[in-house]
């Protein structure tokens, strides 16, 4: 691990691995949350499994927590290193001619997602910890859907969530293909396929989350 994070290439590699783990997490997270639209009872059953299964709780959740923190910390480290390596801005910075807005502003879209995560973890994760371990309530496995549905009664929260999902989409639009490049997956035949997959991923995943937030708001 120390070797991975002691050189710029190692850091980019480690950053890409954490990104790929989070890309997979987002697919799983969206799939479980989509159940809240199709069937409250299926969503309650899935949430009960995720919330009380020891493998998920004591192995996967800490790994996820580590990946999230690592990704943000390493993102800042790489940004600071980039800036100090280039104290004077390029004489010829033609903006969109050299790069996309998304690639130049990963730190901004990342910060919005970080702010979203702060509220989101307070809304759901902290609520769970409080329910289970601090208040030590007896398990009530029918509560998950109602808790989620109630959260989206507040229009301000829905607006903030939706804006964050749009920024998440912009972050993913560059991040998806960039993570493959950083692990050395470059090939004239496969790189265009990875780019197309990245475009679809960065549209469909945030659109799915937006749909869930808006659906629960409109069905209050
Ligand atoms: C409408 C959209 C979303 C809904 C309804 C939703 C719902 C939830 C719920 C119910 C939990 C609690 C899980 C538990 O019982 O611990 C949770 C946890 C979490 N969510 Fe979301 N989520 C949404 C979008 C997102 C997005 C876009 C991200 C990442 C950018 C995200 C990241 C997380 C993380 C890191 C956790 C903690 C994981 C855990 O406790 O296992 N969520 N979310």
How far apart are the C-alpha atoms of 40 and 146, rounded to whole Å?
Answer: 8
Indicate which residue's Cα is closest to atom 34 of ligand 1.
Answer: 121
CB-side exposure of 3: number of CA atoms within 13 Å?
Answer: 0
Digit-by-digit pLDDT tens for the chain (220 residues) are 566 677 888 889 999 999 999 999 999 999 999 999 999 999 999 999 999 999 999 999 999 999 999 999 999 999 888 888 765 555 555 556 667 888 889 999 999 999 999 999 999 999 999 998 898 888 888 899 999 999 999 999 999 999 999 999 999 999 999 999 999 888 888 999 999 999 999 999 999 999 999 999 999 9
For residues 48 and 39, give the distance between their C-alpha atoms in angstroms, rounded to a whole number.
14
pTM above 0.85, yes or no: yes
Residue partners of 30: CB distance under 8 A and separation at least 6: 205, 208, 209, 212
Phi and psi at 10, nearest 5°, equal -60, -45
Q: Is 152 left (phi over 0), alpha (psi -120 to 50) or beta?
A: alpha
Q: Find out whether the beta carbon of 19 lies less than 6 Å from any atom of ligand 1.
A: no
Query: In angstroms, rounded to a whole number, what is the distance separating the alpha carbons of residues 59 and 57?
Result: 6
Ligand 1 pocket, residue 172 CB under 6 Å: no
- CA-nearest of 109, 116, 102, 106 to 209 is 116
Q: What are the structural domains of the chain?
A: 2-84+105-218 (1.20.1300.10)
* DSSP single-letter state for residue 92: S
What are the backbone dihedrals phi and psi of residue 141, each rounded to the nearest 5 degrees, phi first?
Answer: -80, 0
Is 108's C-beta closer than 6 angstroms to any atom of ligand 1? no
């Amino acid at each position: 691990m120390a070797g991975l994070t002691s050189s710029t290439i190692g850091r980019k590699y480690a950053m890409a691995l954490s990104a790929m783990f989070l890309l997979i997490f987002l697919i799983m997270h969206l799939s479980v949350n989509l159940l809240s639209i199709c069937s409250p009872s299926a969503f309650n059953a899935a949430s009960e499994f995720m919330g009380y299964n020891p493998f998920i709780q004591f192995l996967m959740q800490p790994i996820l927590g580590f990946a999230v923190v690592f990704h943000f910390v390493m993102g800042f480290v790489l940004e600071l290193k980039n800036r100090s390596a280039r104290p004077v801005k390029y004489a010829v910075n033609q903006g969109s001619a050299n790069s996309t807005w998304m690639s130049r502003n990963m730190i901004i879209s990342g910060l919005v997602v970080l702010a979203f995560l702060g509220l989101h973890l307070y809304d759901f994760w902290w609520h769970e910890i409080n329910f289970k371990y601090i208040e030590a309530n007896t398990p009530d496995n029918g509560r998950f859907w109602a808790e989620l549905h109630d959260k989206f009664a507040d229009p301000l929260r829905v607006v903030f969530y939706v804006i964050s999902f749009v920024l998440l989409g912009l972050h993913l639009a560059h991040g998806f293909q960039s993570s493959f490049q950083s692990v050395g997956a470059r090939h004239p035949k496969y790189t265009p396929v990875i780019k197309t997959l990245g475009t679809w991923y960065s549209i469909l995943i945030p659109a799915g989350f937006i749909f869930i937030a808006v659906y629960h708001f409109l069905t209050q």
